[in-house]
Amino acid sequence: MKLYLVPTPIGNLKDITFRAIDVLKEVDLILAEDTRTSGKLLKHFEITTQMQSHHMHNEHKTVNQLIEKLKAGMTIAVISDAGTPAISDPGFLLVRACVEQGIEVDCLPGATAFVPALVNSGLPNDKFVFEGFLPVKKGRQTRLRLLAEETRTIIFYESPHKLIKTLSHFCDYFGDNRLVSVSREITKLYEETIRGTAKEVLEYYTNKPPKGEIVIVVAGKHK
Protein backbone atom coordinates (compact mmCIF):
# COMPACT_ATOMS: atom_id res chain seq x y z
CA MET A 1 0.00 0.00 0.00
CA LYS A 2 2.02 2.92 -1.29
CA LEU A 3 1.79 5.81 -3.73
CA TYR A 4 4.85 6.82 -5.73
CA LEU A 5 5.25 10.09 -7.60
CA VAL A 6 7.77 9.44 -10.35
CA PRO A 7 9.38 12.27 -12.36
CA THR A 8 9.79 11.59 -16.07
CA PRO A 9 12.17 13.29 -18.54
CA ILE A 10 11.19 16.76 -19.76
CA GLY A 11 12.96 16.07 -23.05
CA ASN A 12 16.11 13.98 -22.99
CA LEU A 13 15.17 10.39 -22.14
CA LYS A 14 18.56 9.88 -20.47
CA ASP A 15 17.39 12.11 -17.61
CA ILE A 16 15.22 9.38 -16.10
CA THR A 17 16.75 7.75 -13.02
CA PHE A 18 17.51 4.03 -12.55
CA ARG A 19 15.26 4.08 -9.49
CA ALA A 20 12.37 5.57 -11.47
CA ILE A 21 12.60 2.75 -14.02
CA ASP A 22 12.68 0.14 -11.24
CA VAL A 23 9.63 1.62 -9.50
CA LEU A 24 7.62 1.82 -12.74
CA LYS A 25 8.41 -1.84 -13.43
CA GLU A 26 7.54 -3.00 -9.91
CA VAL A 27 4.28 -1.16 -9.09
CA ASP A 28 0.87 -2.69 -9.76
CA LEU A 29 -0.49 0.32 -11.68
CA ILE A 30 0.79 3.48 -13.36
CA LEU A 31 -1.43 6.56 -13.50
CA ALA A 32 -0.48 8.55 -16.59
CA GLU A 33 -1.55 12.05 -17.62
CA ASP A 34 -1.68 10.92 -21.27
CA THR A 35 -1.37 7.18 -21.84
CA ARG A 36 -0.29 7.70 -25.46
CA THR A 37 2.61 9.97 -24.49
CA SER A 38 3.63 7.81 -21.54
CA GLY A 39 3.23 4.67 -23.63
CA LYS A 40 6.18 5.74 -25.78
CA LEU A 41 8.33 6.29 -22.68
CA LEU A 42 7.38 2.95 -21.14
CA LYS A 43 7.99 1.11 -24.39
CA HIS A 44 11.45 2.69 -24.69
CA PHE A 45 12.42 1.38 -21.25
CA GLU A 46 10.61 -1.97 -21.72
CA ILE A 47 8.12 -1.28 -18.92
CA THR A 48 4.97 -3.38 -19.26
CA THR A 49 3.07 -2.28 -16.14
CA GLN A 50 -0.65 -1.59 -16.62
CA MET A 51 -1.53 2.08 -17.19
CA GLN A 52 -4.62 4.09 -16.36
CA SER A 53 -5.50 7.62 -17.47
CA HIS A 54 -5.22 10.22 -14.71
CA HIS A 55 -5.49 13.86 -15.78
CA MET A 56 -6.96 17.19 -14.72
CA HIS A 57 -10.36 16.38 -16.24
CA ASN A 58 -10.94 13.11 -14.37
CA GLU A 59 -8.78 13.21 -11.23
CA HIS A 60 -11.63 14.57 -9.08
CA LYS A 61 -13.78 11.57 -10.02
CA THR A 62 -11.17 8.84 -9.61
CA VAL A 63 -9.54 9.75 -6.29
CA ASN A 64 -11.88 7.67 -4.09
CA GLN A 65 -11.55 4.65 -6.37
CA LEU A 66 -7.76 4.89 -6.30
CA ILE A 67 -7.71 5.25 -2.51
CA GLU A 68 -9.68 2.00 -2.25
CA LYS A 69 -7.17 0.25 -4.51
CA LEU A 70 -4.32 1.49 -2.34
CA LYS A 71 -6.09 0.38 0.83
CA ALA A 72 -6.52 -3.05 -0.76
CA GLY A 73 -2.74 -3.32 -0.91
CA MET A 74 -1.88 -2.05 -4.39
CA THR A 75 1.19 0.01 -5.14
CA ILE A 76 0.55 2.84 -7.59
CA ALA A 77 2.86 5.25 -9.43
CA VAL A 78 1.81 8.63 -10.79
CA ILE A 79 3.57 10.11 -13.82
CA SER A 80 2.87 13.22 -15.89
CA ASP A 81 3.70 13.83 -19.54
CA ALA A 82 7.01 15.37 -18.44
CA GLY A 83 8.62 16.41 -15.19
CA THR A 84 7.48 15.89 -11.61
CA PRO A 85 3.79 15.09 -10.99
CA ALA A 86 1.72 17.67 -9.07
CA ILE A 87 3.96 20.57 -10.20
CA SER A 88 1.48 22.32 -12.53
CA ASP A 89 0.29 18.78 -13.36
CA PRO A 90 -2.17 16.25 -11.87
CA GLY A 91 -1.22 14.52 -8.65
CA PHE A 92 -1.97 16.87 -5.77
CA LEU A 93 -5.53 15.66 -5.11
CA LEU A 94 -4.46 12.04 -4.82
CA VAL A 95 -1.47 12.90 -2.62
CA ARG A 96 -3.70 14.93 -0.30
CA ALA A 97 -6.19 12.09 -0.05
CA CYS A 98 -3.40 9.60 0.73
CA VAL A 99 -2.04 11.84 3.49
CA GLU A 100 -5.54 12.16 4.97
CA GLN A 101 -6.00 8.37 4.88
CA GLY A 102 -2.57 7.57 6.31
CA ILE A 103 -1.32 5.98 3.08
CA GLU A 104 2.44 6.25 2.52
CA VAL A 105 3.55 8.64 -0.25
CA ASP A 106 7.04 8.60 -1.78
CA CYS A 107 8.07 11.29 -4.28
CA LEU A 108 11.22 10.36 -6.17
CA PRO A 109 13.73 13.09 -7.06
CA GLY A 110 14.11 13.82 -10.73
CA ALA A 111 13.44 16.07 -13.68
CA THR A 112 11.50 19.31 -13.34
CA ALA A 113 11.66 22.25 -15.72
CA PHE A 114 11.85 25.26 -13.42
CA VAL A 115 15.06 24.37 -11.54
CA PRO A 116 17.45 24.40 -14.54
CA ALA A 117 15.66 27.50 -15.90
CA LEU A 118 16.17 29.31 -12.58
CA VAL A 119 19.84 28.34 -12.34
CA ASN A 120 20.49 29.23 -16.01
CA SER A 121 18.83 32.62 -15.67
CA GLY A 122 21.68 34.25 -13.76
CA LEU A 123 19.08 35.89 -11.51
CA PRO A 124 19.18 35.53 -7.71
CA ASN A 125 18.10 32.01 -6.71
CA ASP A 126 18.58 32.07 -2.95
CA LYS A 127 14.94 33.11 -2.59
CA PHE A 128 12.28 32.63 -5.24
CA VAL A 129 8.54 32.11 -5.73
CA PHE A 130 7.06 29.60 -8.18
CA GLU A 131 3.86 30.87 -9.81
CA GLY A 132 3.31 28.21 -12.48
CA PHE A 133 0.81 29.35 -15.11
CA LEU A 134 -0.79 32.77 -14.70
CA PRO A 135 -4.60 32.93 -14.79
CA VAL A 136 -5.79 33.09 -18.39
CA LYS A 137 -8.44 35.78 -17.86
CA LYS A 138 -10.11 36.25 -14.49
CA GLY A 139 -7.65 37.32 -11.84
CA ARG A 140 -4.72 37.80 -14.21
CA GLN A 141 -4.42 41.59 -13.75
CA THR A 142 -4.89 41.30 -9.99
CA ARG A 143 -2.13 38.68 -9.83
CA LEU A 144 0.27 40.76 -11.92
CA ARG A 145 -0.31 43.87 -9.82
CA LEU A 146 0.46 41.86 -6.70
CA LEU A 147 3.58 40.27 -8.20
CA ALA A 148 4.87 43.67 -9.33
CA GLU A 149 5.77 44.27 -5.66
CA GLU A 150 7.40 40.84 -5.15
CA THR A 151 11.09 41.19 -4.24
CA ARG A 152 12.00 37.53 -4.76
CA THR A 153 12.79 36.03 -8.17
CA ILE A 154 9.55 34.84 -9.82
CA ILE A 155 9.14 31.72 -11.96
CA PHE A 156 6.34 31.14 -14.47
CA TYR A 157 5.36 28.42 -16.91
CA GLU A 158 3.94 29.57 -20.24
CA SER A 159 2.79 28.13 -23.56
CA PRO A 160 4.48 29.41 -26.75
CA HIS A 161 1.35 31.01 -28.22
CA LYS A 162 0.84 33.09 -25.05
CA LEU A 163 4.44 34.15 -24.47
CA ILE A 164 4.22 37.47 -26.36
CA LYS A 165 1.09 38.46 -24.46
CA THR A 166 2.67 37.56 -21.12
CA LEU A 167 5.90 39.44 -21.85
CA SER A 168 3.83 42.47 -22.89
CA HIS A 169 2.03 42.30 -19.55
CA PHE A 170 5.38 42.12 -17.76
CA CYS A 171 6.41 45.35 -19.50
CA ASP A 172 3.11 46.96 -18.45
CA TYR A 173 3.09 45.81 -14.83
CA PHE A 174 6.77 45.25 -13.96
CA GLY A 175 8.33 47.85 -16.26
CA ASP A 176 10.30 47.61 -19.52
CA ASN A 177 13.62 47.32 -17.69
CA ARG A 178 12.78 44.43 -15.36
CA LEU A 179 15.26 41.61 -16.04
CA VAL A 180 13.76 38.48 -17.59
CA SER A 181 15.12 35.10 -18.67
CA VAL A 182 13.15 32.80 -20.99
CA SER A 183 14.23 29.15 -21.26
CA ARG A 184 12.56 26.84 -23.74
CA GLU A 185 12.96 23.26 -24.92
CA ILE A 186 15.06 22.47 -21.82
CA THR A 187 17.21 19.32 -22.33
CA LYS A 188 16.09 19.07 -25.98
CA LEU A 189 18.00 19.59 -29.24
CA TYR A 190 16.98 23.25 -29.72
CA GLU A 191 17.24 24.33 -26.09
CA GLU A 192 17.86 28.05 -25.64
CA THR A 193 17.82 30.70 -22.93
CA ILE A 194 17.25 34.35 -23.83
CA ARG A 195 18.09 36.93 -21.19
CA GLY A 196 17.58 40.69 -21.07
CA THR A 197 15.09 43.33 -20.05
CA ALA A 198 11.39 42.56 -20.47
CA LYS A 199 11.33 44.87 -23.48
CA GLU A 200 14.39 43.25 -25.10
CA VAL A 201 13.10 39.72 -24.64
CA LEU A 202 9.66 40.76 -25.95
CA GLU A 203 11.28 42.23 -29.08
CA TYR A 204 13.33 39.06 -29.60
CA TYR A 205 10.32 36.75 -29.53
CA THR A 206 8.16 39.17 -31.51
CA ASN A 207 10.68 38.73 -34.35
CA LYS A 208 11.22 35.02 -33.67
CA PRO A 209 7.97 33.28 -32.64
CA PRO A 210 8.76 30.70 -29.96
CA LYS A 211 8.13 26.96 -30.00
CA GLY A 212 8.22 24.32 -27.28
CA GLU A 213 7.78 24.29 -23.52
CA ILE A 214 8.68 27.58 -21.83
CA VAL A 215 9.84 28.70 -18.38
CA ILE A 216 10.07 32.44 -17.61
CA VAL A 217 12.23 33.71 -14.76
CA VAL A 218 11.69 37.31 -13.69
CA ALA A 219 13.84 39.38 -11.33
CA GLY A 220 12.12 40.61 -8.20
CA LYS A 221 11.48 44.26 -7.53
CA HIS A 222 14.50 46.13 -6.15
CA LYS A 223 14.04 46.99 -2.47
Please give the CATH topology (third level) of the domain spanning 114-218. 3.30.950
CATH 3.10.20.310 fits 2-107, yes or no: no
pTM reported for the whole predicted model: 0.92
pLDDT at 197 over 80: yes
Per-residue pLDDT tens for 113-156? Answer: 999 999 999 999 999 999 999 998 889 999 999 999 999 999 99
Q: Where do you find CATH 3.30.950.10 in the chain?
A: 114-218
- 214-218/179-184 β-pairing: antiparallel
The stretches of 72-216 forming alpha helices (DSSP H) are 92-101, 114-121, 140-147, 163-174, 198-207
Closest Cα to residue 70, out of 35, 105, 42, 108? Answer: 105
Q: Where do you find CATH 3.40.1010.10 in the chain?
A: 2-107
The confidence score (pLDDT) of residue 56 equals 77
pLDDT at 89 over 90: no
Contacts of 19 (CB under 8 A, 6+ apart): 108
pLDDT at 66 over 80: yes
As a whole-number percent, the residues of the chain with pLDDT over 90 amount to: 92
Contact 152, 127 (CB under 8 A): yes
Contact 7, 81 (CB under 8 A): no
- Residues listed for the chain: 223
Contact 7, 84 (CB under 8 A): yes
Q: Rounded distance, CA 197 to CA 131, Å?
A: 20
pLDDT at 61 over 80: yes
Q: How confident is the model at residue 55 (pLDDT cuts 50, 70, 90)?
A: confident
pLDDT at 38 over 90: yes
pLDDT at 182 over 80: yes
For residue 29, which amino acid is it? L
